[in-house]
Amino acid sequence: MSNASSRARVKELRKLIDHHNYQYHVLDSPEIPDTEYDGLFKELLSIEDSHPELITPGSPTQRVGATPLEEFAKVKHDIPMLSLSNAFSDQEIQDFDRRVRDRVGGASIEYVAEPKMDGVAVSLLYEDGVLIRGATRGDGLTGEDVTHNVRTIGSVPLRLLGAGYPRVLEVRGEVYMTTQGFEALNVRQRQHDRKVFANPRNAAAGSLRQLDPRVTVERPLEIFFHSFGKVDDGELLQTHYDTLMRFRDWGLRVCPETRTAMGWQQCLEYYQDLLNRRGHLDYAVDGVVYKVNAIEQQRELGFISRAPRWAIAHKFPAEEELTKLLDISVQVGRTGTLTPVARLEPVSVGGVTVTNATLHNQDEVERKDVRVGDTVIVRRAGDVIPEIVAVVRSKRPKRTRRFKLPTKCPVCESDVVRREGEAAARCTGGLFCPAQRREAIRHFASRRAMDIEGLGDKLVEQLDEQGLVHDLADLYKLKLEDIAELEHMGRKSAANLIEALEASKDTTLARFLYALGIRDVGETTAQTLATYYGSLAGLMRANRDDLQRVPDVGPVVADNIYTFFREKHNQRVINKLKPVIGRLKQPRPNPTTKLGHTLPLSNKTFVLTGTLTSMSRDKAKAALQALGAKVVGSVSKKTDYVVAGADPGSKATKAMKLGVTTLDEDRFLDLIQDN
Ligand code: IVH
C-alpha cells in the first residue's frame, strides 16, 4: 500500500473501530460480530506495524503502554472532587428536598436520580477531544495519575466522538468491575495462586492502582460517567440530565438507570425500585444519588464544606458488616453433604440479624483461612444465604487453630468420604443417618421406587417427628394404631397405608435397588445392576473392579455402590429389610449381559454430540448400551467413536484432533441396525 492510501485507510479504520466501540460500550448495541471487529483491529495493527510513523496516542491500538511505571505521579484537581452527604432514611430525603425548596423556591423540584456506583472515583481530562489524563480522586484535592491504566479500559474513549464538546472537558465517573467479571477474575486468580479479591470494588481499585498497564488491561474494568469538573472554551447544557445525554453522544458511557424524578416522592419510588432490583444489576450499587437537575439551581444552592447542597446520596442498607466468629459447626444436609457453618456474634446486616453464615466446604474454609476467634466480614445480599467474605487478619487473636471437617458424621457417626475432584464431603450412612432419614424415606416411597401410596411428605415428617420410624425398615413395622393417632390420619387412612406398605413388597429387584437411593444409581443403572447380578446378595458381594465391568458403571458409580454396601449402618438396615428382599422378583442373571464382552459393542466407548434427527440422545445412548457399549460425556484418546449429529460443536473438533472415528447419523443407524 502506498503511504497516502495507508494513511487514508488508517484514518478510516480508526473511525470504524471508534464507532463500533461506541456501539458496543456506550449504547450496548453492537452492529457487528466480535470477529469482524477483531478483523478491523488486526488490519489497523498490521498497517501501523509497517508504518510506525502513522501511530498516534489516540489510535485504538495504543491503549496499553509497554513499560510499567516506577510510581504514580501526583495530580492536583483544579476543581476539588467533592463527596456527597449521606442519607439513610426517607425522612432525611424529605428534609433534603425541603431545604432545597426553601433556598430556590418553587413547589416541586426536578431531580436526576442515579445509582450510587460502588466503584472507584476517577477524573478524565479531555483536551480538543483527546484523552490526556486520568486521575484518581485521592483526598479530593490531590489524586494519582493513572492515565496509563484508564486508557486500557475499553469503554473509555481515547478521543471523543461527534462535535460540540468544550475544548477542555474534565469528566468524572466511577470505574467498576461487573459482578460477572469479578467472579471470573477471582477464579483466574485462584487458579494462578494469586490474591483473591474480597469484592468488586476492591478488585477495581486494585486493578486501577497497578503500575503495569499490562496487568490492568487483563482486568474486566468498566466506567460510568456521572459528573464533570473543569470546563473551558465551551458550554455544557442547562440541566444535568441533558448534559449526561450529551456525554453519551460524545462516547462517554452513562449508567442506563439514570432518570429524572419530580419531588421527593418520585425520588423515593426510584430508590425502592432500584433497591428491589439491586441483586439483578451486574454491578455493585450502594445507594442512589439525587441531584437537582437545573444547573442554575445548583449554582444557587452551592456547597457546604466538602459536599454540594444540590445533591445527596441515599444509601442502601449495607450488605457487609464486621463480627466475631464464635464457632464452626458442621451441618449434614438431607443428601448427606457436610457443610461447615460459622456461628457468629449476632450482627445486623442490611436490617436483618445474622447469627450464622455458610462456609460452603473444606476448601473454602482453607482458602479464606477462617478460624474460630477471628473477626470476619459477613455479607448478606438480597435473599442470599449470609456468607463470610474474608477474615480481618490484623484482628486475629493469638493461638488459633485451623479448621478440619470431621472424618465421622457428626449426626450418625458413619464414615465421611470426599471423592477426589469434588468439593463436598459426604456422610456414607445414607439409610441410617437421621439427617438424611426423611429424604431417604421419601425417595424409598416414591412412585418409581417402592411406590408406597399415601406416604407423602407430611406423613414422613410426622413419622419421623414422633419417632415411629428410624430407618426404612421401620416402615414395615408400623402398627395401625400408631398411624391412626397421627394428625389428619384416622383408622381408614391408616389401614390404607398398611395395605399400601404390604403391596409395595411386591416389587422387582431393580426398583428396590433404585429405592435405596445410592448416589448416582438412577433407574437405568438400577435396572442394569439387577439384570447383571440377579440378586441383592450378589451385588453386595461385588468389589469395585467387578462393578466396573457392568455396562454403564464407571469408577465413580462403582465406588458409590461399593461404599454404600460396606457402610455397616446401611448393612444393618438392609438386614432389617430381609422380609421385603426375600420376596423380590429376581430376574435370572442375564448370561449375555453377565459376559459383557460377548456383546457386539462391549469394550467400545462412544461419545454422542450434536442433535440426531431420528431419535433423542437418551434413546441413542440406551441403544448403544444395549449393545454393550459404554457411553461417556467427553472425548479422549480412549474414545472409540464419536457420533456427531447436527451442530456437533467442540466434541467433534476434539475427535478430529485426536483421530477418533466420527460417525454421522446414517452410519450410526447402520451400526445399530447391523448389530
Ligand atoms: S456525583 C459533587 N454521582 O460517590 C458530586 N457520585 O460520596 C460528585 N459516586 O466520590 C459526585 N456514584 O465518586 C456522583 N452517580 C453518582 C455516583 C457518585 C458514585 C461516588 C463519587 C464520589 C462519591 C461521593
Q: Is the CB of 201 under 6 A from ligand 1?
A: no
Q: Based on the fold, state whether residues 505 and 478 are members of the same structural domain.
A: yes
Does 404 map to a domain? no
Q: What is the residue with the minimal CA distance to atom 23 of ligand 1?
A: 83
Could you give phi then psi for residue 61, rounded to 5 degrees? -80, -10
315 is catalytic: no
Query: Would you tell me how many other CB atoms lie within 10 Å of the CB of residue 25?
Result: 19
- On the CB side of 384, CA atoms within 13 Å amount to 16
Residue 195 lies in a domain: yes
CATH number of the domain encompassing residue 46:
1.10.287.610
Expressed in angstroms and rounded, the spacing between residue 240 Cα and the centre of ligand 1 is 14
Residue 204 is predicted with a pLDDT of 95
Q: What is the dihedral of CA 259, 262, 266, 271, to 10 degrees?
A: 40
Domain co-membership, 546 together with 617: no
CATH number of the domain residue 164 falls in: 3.30.470.30
The number of domains in the chain is: 5
Taking CB atoms within 8 Å and a gap of at least 24, the contacts of 443-448 are 443/515, 443/517, 444/472, 444/475, 444/515, 444/516, 444/517, 445/475, 445/504, 446/515, 448/511, 448/514, 448/523
Q: Is 170 within 8 Å of 124 (Cβ atoms)?
A: yes
Q: Write the CA distances from 198 to 298, 317, 544, integer angstroms.
A: 37, 19, 43
- The residue assigned the cell 458442621 is 330
- Provide the b/e sequence for 433-471 (b: ≥16 CB within 10 Å): bebbbbbbbbbbbbeebbbbebbeeebbebbeeeebbeb
Decide: 137 in ligand 1 pocket, CB within 6 A.
yes
Distance 118 CA to ligand 1 centre (A): 9
Q: What is the CATH number of the domain that holds 345?
A: 2.40.50.140
Domain that holds residue 42: 3-62
3-state secondary structure of 343: strand
**Contact by Cβ (8 Å): 644, 663:** yes
Query: Using CA atoms, how far apart are residues 425 and 330, in angstroms rounded to an integer?
Result: 11
Same domain, yes or no: 325 and 349? yes
**In a shared domain, residues 436 and 576:** yes
Check whether residue 253 and residue 275 sit in a common domain.
yes
Domain end residue (candidates: 266, 289, 315): 315
**DSSP type of residue 107:** S
> Based on the domain organization, do 550 and 609 belong to the same domain?
no
Residue 597, pLDDT score: 44
Cross-strand bridge partners of residue 353: 348
Give the pLDDT of residue 383: 66
**Which three cell numbers mark 86?**
449521606
Mean pLDDT by 10 residues, the chain (675 residues): 89 93 86 89 94 90 79 93 92 97 93 96 96 94 94 94 96 96 90 84 92 89 97 94 97 97 97 93 94 97 91 91 94 89 92 89 91 92 80 91 94 89 87 86 92 91 91 92 90 93 92 92 90 90 91 88 91 91 70 50 86 84 82 87 87 85 86 75
- Distance, CA of 489 to CA of 256 (rounded, Å): 58
239 in the same domain as 111: yes
* Among 297, 329, 327, 330, residue whose Cα is nearest residue 311: 297
Residue linked to cell 454404600: 564
Q: At what angle do helices 617-626 and 665-674 cross, to 10 degrees?
A: 30
The pLDDT of residue 586 is 63
Can you say how many angstroms the Cα of residue 499 is from the centroid of all Cα atoms in its chain?
48
**Considering 74, 116, 230, 395, which one is annotated as catalytic?**
116
pTM: 0.61
The cell numbers describing 537, all together, are: 446378595
The domain boundary residue, chosen from 315, 332, 361:
315
Q: Is the CB of 83 under 6 A from ligand 1?
A: yes
Distance from the alpha carbon of residue 102 to the mean position of ligand 1, in angstroms: 24
d(CA 356, CA 344): 6
Question: Which are the contacts of 398, defined by CB distance < 8 A and separation ≥ 6?
Answer: none
Per-residue pLDDT, 594: 44
DSSP 195: P
For residue 70, being part of any structural domain is answered with no
Which atom of ligand 1 is nearest to 82's Cα?
2
Say whether both 37 and 135 belong to one domain.
no
What is the secondary structure of 568-603 as a DSSP string?
Answer: HHHHHHHHHTHHHHHH-B-PPP-HHHHTGGGSTTTT
Q: Match 424529605 to its residue by C-alpha cell.
A: 94
One domain, residues 259 and 294: yes
The finding on whether 274 has its CB within 6 A of some atom of ligand 1 is no
Under a CB-based contact definition with an 8 Å cutoff, are residues 475 and 577 in contact?
no
Same-domain pairing of 181 and 239: yes
> Has residue 52 been placed in a domain?
yes
Is residue 69 situated within a structural domain?
no
Residue ending a domain, choose from 290, 315, 340:
315
**Order of strands, sheet of 311-315, starting from the edge strand that comes earlier in the sequence:** 86-87, 311-315, 285-292, 110-117, 259-262
Query: Which pLDDT belongs to residue 66?
Result: 66
CA distance 31 to 23: 7
Do residues 252 and 326 share a domain?
A: no
Q: What number does the ligand 1 atom closest to the CA of 116 have?
A: 12
On whether residue 15 sits in a domain, the answer given is yes
Atom number, ligand 1, closest to the C-alpha of residue 137: 10
Quote helix, strand, coil % in the chain, to nearest 5: 40, 20, 40
Distance from C-alpha of 16 to C-alpha of 629, rounded to nearest angstrom: 54
Clarify whether residues 642 and 517 are in a common domain.
Answer: no
Residue 405 lies inside a defined structural domain of this protein: no
Residue 669 within a domain: yes
**Cα 154 off chain centre by:** 24
pLDDT digits (tens, 9 = 90+) for 216-234: 888 999 999 999 999 999 9
Any idea of the CA torsion for 188, 192, 195, 200, to the nearest 10 degrees?
-10
